[in-house]
Amino acid sequence: MNLNDLSSDVRQAVADVRHKLVDLHAELPKNELVVWTAGNVSERVHGADLFVIKPSGVRYDELTPEKMVVCDFDGKKIDDDLSAGLQPSSDTAAHAYVYRHMPAVGGVVHTHSTYATAWAATGRPIPPVLTMMGDEFGGEIPVGPFAIIGDDSIGRGIVETLTGHPSPAVLMQNHGPFTVGKDGEAAVKAAVLCEEVARTVAIAEQIGSLIPIPEEALGRLYERYQNVYGQ
């Protein structure tokens, strides 16, 4: 498939997402969630079974809209004149699997942020001991299974862990956090907050015993934040 063969509406939607992703990727180093070229953001293209994702091995300060890579939901690159010679992120198969199996998801983020990845290395979920966790995650941040990059194994683990769970974040064991959202911005926000609570809870454990928030209170916090809070 070639991008030029698609409708003008789809091509415009792709162009819009490409520009948006440059700004969203800038949020990852800004919030100290990535180092060097690690990590990626993708976003679904509305009106087509396509998504746009960071190219593999390209540094964040070198990203431009033209370098963003367009893929179908099988993770195959869509040919176009802009990203010629660039390959999509090594995590593309995982992103593609999520988009195929979670139609409400419009954005996916992967980072190796320090504290969230440390929790992933222990195979422990982050316990719900902060009101922020009730607000954003609806409870604990769960751990997904160990999986190797290269096929859709990571994607399967993400979907299996997050299906039926309110959390937009999962800690893939021995790997790091993946977050999802209605669009790329929501997924980036979840990645930022995931690292914030991972850091805070890790520090709290060094101070003393954690105090869990009751399940009923977590539900009320989540309901208010998701449906009432803000403008």
pTM across the whole model: 0.97
Q: Is 229 a catalytic residue?
A: yes
Three-state DSSP class for 42? strand
Domain boundaries, the chain: 3-227
Query: Of residues 135, 151, 222, 225, which has the active-site annotation?
Result: 135
pLDDT digits (tens, 9 = 90+) for 190-213: 999 999 999 999 999 999 999 999
pLDDT digits (tens, 9 = 90+) for 98-141: 999 999 999 999 999 999 999 999 999 999 999 999 999 999 99
Q: Tokens representing 84?
A: 């010629």
Q: How far apart are the first and last CA of the chain?
A: 41
pLDDT-derived band at 230, boundaries 50, 70, 90? confident
pLDDT of residue 118: 98
**60 carries an active-site annotation:** no
- We find that the CATH architecture of domain 3-227 is 3-Layer(aba) Sandwich (3.40)
* Maximum separation of any 2 CA atoms in the chain, in Å: 60
Going by pLDDT thresholds of 50, 70 and 90, the confidence category of residue 82 is: confident
Per-residue pLDDT, 150: 84
